[in-house]
Amino acid sequence: MSAEKIIADWKNKKFKPVYWLEGEEPFFIDEVVDYAEHNILNESEASFNLTVFYGKDADWTNVVNACMGYPMFGERKVVLLKEAQQMKDIDRLENYIQKPLSSTVLVVSYKDKKLDARTKFSKAVKQNGELLSTKKIYDNQLPEWTAEMIAAKGLSIQPNALAILVDHIGNDLSRLKNEIEKISINLNNRKKITDADIENYVGVSKEFNVFELQDAISQKNLPKAIRIIQYFGANPKAGPVQLILPTLYNYFSKIYTAAAEANLSEATLKPMFYNNPFAVKQAIVAINNYGYSGTEKILLLLHEYNLKNIGINNGGSSDADLLKELAVKIIAA
């Protein structure tokens, strides 16, 4: 069961008495809880039939009593238990979950943890309700996930703009959603998000970002790489070295794997680079410029400069100086 399917069922007035939302990705849990809080009941029903508890302060008896109450002036009650992972004696809810009231919708937010599937508690949830177990989206899935979120709004995005957006924000799904909302509001009648939109509304320069540095190094364009690094030196928040080094290492690790392929066609490389044609073309340039052995040297250099960044064999160089030195050595690889 997915968050989207749960919300779709609710929109169609299909309810189960218990929804247990668990796992390591809070975004999907929060999406379901937010919908339950603001959309299952209308405003007049909610004043009588919506009860919200927070795990740290909740007592299991109060939660059960709220669930056992019958709805007033409506068809159902909604009981939300937020941050349930902080609740003491949460296992005491088991008896209720084994025999829940059909007119109550109990939604439990249990973040960063999971029920033991072997326990009676877990089996009771699965038998009488729905279990949503969330996982973090891997970095290589982010571009596709973000593009799908944008498409759901009836919009599209340029490949370069997508790469900049995802690279800048990373695996923070809530922030990605908020930034997309902000951009969409400012598009007026346009339907395509451009890199200029990312610069204007997210605050990421379309010319000076880690993605453009990656592209400059791929092309062996040292003057462009130095200009970007100088910009980072003057604007540390735009390109912290703690972000740049892992990003470059992740990218050239993919190049290293791709360079070992016998077939370097776009079709072969697409799955390795988020099915993004722009990223695939950039990768082919990097492979042609560095090859397998050159990319191996780059990975060793990135490891060496990551150690320097944390103070090992570093004579006191600034972040910008380290990056300039690294870029010169990479491009010479």
Distance CA 284, CA 282 (A): 6
Q: Which pair of structure tokens corresponds to residue 292?
A: 């397998």
Contact 213, 190 (CB under 8 A): no
Along the 333 residues of the chain, how does pLDDT read in single tens digits?
789 999 999 999 999 999 999 999 999 999 999 999 999 999 999 999 999 999 999 999 999 999 999 999 989 999 999 999 999 899 999 999 999 999 999 999 999 989 888 899 999 999 999 999 999 988 778 888 999 999 999 999 998 889 888 878 888 999 999 999 999 999 988 999 998 999 889 888 778 888 889 999 999 999 999 999 999 988 888 888 888 999 899 999 999 999 988 777 888 888 888 777 778 888 999 999 999 999 999 999 999 999 998 888 777 788 899 999 999 999 987
Q: Which pair of structure tokens corresponds to residue 321?
A: 């100086």
Distance CA 54, CA 45 (A): 21
Q: Which pair of structure tokens corresponds to residue 129?
A: 């309700």
| Beta sheet of 50-54, edge-to-edge order | 50-54, 77-82, 104-111, 18-23, 129-134
Sole residue written with tokens 């779709």: 8
Q: Which pair of structure tokens corresponds to residue 274?
A: 């988020």
CA distances in angstroms from 194 to 198, 210, 236, listed in the order given: 7, 17, 24
Contact 229, 330 (CB under 8 A): no
Model pLDDT, residue 138: 84
Of the candidates 20, 36, 33, the one whose C-alpha atom is nearest the C-alpha of residue 124 is: 20
Model pTM score? 0.72
Model pLDDT, residue 302: 95
Contact 107, 81 (CB under 8 A): yes
In the chain, the domains with their CATH numbers are: 3-134 (3.40.50.300), 139-202 (1.10.8.60), 210-331 (1.20.272.10)
Contact 81, 111 (CB under 8 A): no
Model pLDDT, residue 139: 78
Model pLDDT, residue 48: 94
